């Protein structure tokens, strides 16, 4: 039992890490990774939704009729997204403003619905929570790493939770402004996928 929990948890961290191995949930990946801070915030919000929707869906998996399951899943996910939205509005208002419409859009993040359909609908609650947590942390790591690359190249700094930057490029560094614009997002993610392929090839 403990072994299989560990297996479901760790597969989200490397073997099936979204969005690199599972090419899902690209929109938030591209949109919010202008800085590490936004990336981590988005990752944590998505993790919260993933864990709780996985838990509830797997508890209800024998009650939900299979014909209307997608509609039921969407309502459950939307409920947790609303909770996250209200929580962020109350406690992390600045981040809430920065992420904007991408918080309600967690509803249509394919990773969340994908895990509900592919995993939580068929497995026990404990395994589903492990799966959701692993996928969520993997997604957070991916967003944070893309955010780090884009922020350092595009802005020359690295800032976490406001305050002073924890890392700064020298004064002679000219920021690549395009890295924090749309093209940089696409090209950055494309190159990271390429690196993942290079490392992953046996």
**Positive or negative CA dihedral for 89, 179, 24, 132?**
negative
**Residue 151 and residue 180 in contact, taking contact as beta carbons nearer than 8 Å:** yes
Site string for other proteins, 114-153 (x = CB under 8 A): ----------------------------------------
Per CB under 8 A, the segment of 2-10, 99-107, 131-139, 145-153 that binds other proteins is: 99-107
Measured CA to CA, the distance from residue 49 to residue 26 in angstroms comes to 17
Measured CA to CA, the distance from residue 53 to residue 75 in angstroms comes to 10
Rounded least distance, CB 55 to other proteins, Å: 19
Measured CA to CA, the distance from residue 128 to residue 59 in angstroms comes to 9
**Residue 6: how many other CB atoms lie within 10 Å:** 12
Examine residue 95 and tell whether it contacts other proteins (CB under 8 A): no
Catalogue the E-assigned strands of 40-193.
Answer: 157-158, 167-168
Catalogue the E-assigned strands of the chain.
Answer: 157-158, 167-168
Rounded least distance, CB 50 to other proteins, Å: 15
Among 59, 160, 166, 187, binds other proteins (CB under 8 A): 187
Rounded least distance, CB 138 to other proteins, Å: 17
Question: Based on CB atoms, which residue is closest to other proteins, 60 or 126?
Answer: 60
Among 6, 15, 86, 160, binds other proteins (CB under 8 A): 86
**Residue 196 and residue 142 in contact, taking contact as beta carbons nearer than 8 Å:** no
Question: Based on CB atoms, which residue is closest to other proteins, 94 or 181?
Answer: 181
In the complex, the residues that contact other proteins under the rule CB under 8 A are 23-27, 30-31, 70-71, 74-75, 78-79, 81-82, 85-86, 100-101, 104-105, 107-110, 113, 178, 181-187, 189-191, 193-195, 197-198, 201
């Amino acid at each position: 039992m403990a072994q299989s929990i560990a297996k479901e948890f760790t597969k989200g961290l490397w073997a099936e890490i979204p969005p690199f191995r599972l090419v899902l949930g690209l929109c938030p990946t591209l949109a919010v990774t202008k800085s590490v801070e936004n990336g981590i915030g988005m990752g944590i919000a998505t993790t919260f939704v993933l864990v709780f929707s996985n838990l509830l869906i797997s508890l209800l998996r024998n009650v939900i009729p299979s014909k209307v399951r997608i509609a039921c899943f969407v309502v459950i996910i939307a409920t947790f997204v609303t909770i996250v939205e209200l929580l962020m509005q109350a406690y992390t208002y600045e981040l809430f403003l920065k992420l904007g419409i991408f918080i309600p859009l967690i509803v249509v993040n394919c990773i969340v619905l994908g895990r509900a359909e592919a995993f939580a609908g068929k497995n026990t609650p404990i395994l589903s929570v492990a799966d959701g947590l692993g996928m969520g942390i993997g997604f957070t790591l991916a967003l944070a790493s893309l955010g780090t690359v884009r922020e350092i190249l595009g802005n020359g700094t690295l800032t976490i939770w406001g305050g002073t930057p924890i890392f700064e490029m020298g004064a002679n560094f000219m920021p690549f402004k395009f890295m924090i614009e749309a093209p940089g997002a696409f090209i950055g993610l494309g190159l990271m996928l390429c690196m993942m392929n290079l490392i992953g090839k046996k």
